Structure 1
């Protein structure tokens, strides 16, 4: 991955928190900023195609109680 140097203005309190975390965790401040910048870049992505998300037909409306029961049963099965 090629890196490009840039200058960014940040809130002093945010910078202080990053400096503290970097010292505490033994990471560089730059690593925190690259990670934050990457997350911000990911949030800007847009997909042009529709997502192929399957839909399910339960034959009618499903109540909140039925959902709660199904979730409870599913959790009980994994324990």
Structure 2
């Protein structure tokens, strides 16, 4: 992935946290900022098509009772 330079305004407290984290992890402040941008970009992404249509469902095998949980431990 190619990088492109940009300027942003950030709260001083956030910048201080970034500086501390970068020093603790031994990576650049820029890397922390790039990771944050990437994570929020993925978290707020809107897909063109729904992941699951109204006709599709997933069988997750529930509901699970307390006895199911207790018995699971004794089967191992």
For normalisation by structure 1, the TM-score amounts to 0.69
Post-superposition offset of 1:55? 3.6
How many residues are paired up? 71
Is it true that 1:26 corresponds to 2:26 in the alignment? yes
Distance between the aligned counterparts of 2:17 and 2:75, measured in 1? 40
Mark the CA change 1:23 to 1:55 in structure 2 (over 3 Å): closer, same or farther: closer
Distance between the aligned counterparts of 1:74 and 1:5, measured in 2? 57
Is it true that 1:2 corresponds to 2:5 in the alignment? no
Unaligned runs of 5+ in 1: none
Mark the CA change 1:47 to 1:16 in structure 2 (over 3 Å): closer, same or farther: same
Using CA pairs under 8 Å that are at least 6 residues apart, name the structure with larger relative contact order, 1 or 2. 2
Distance between the aligned counterparts of 1:44 and 1:17, measured in 2? 23
Mark the CA change 1:75 to 1:24 in structure 2 (over 3 Å): closer, same or farther: farther
Could you say what secondary structure the match of 1:67 adopts? Answer: coil
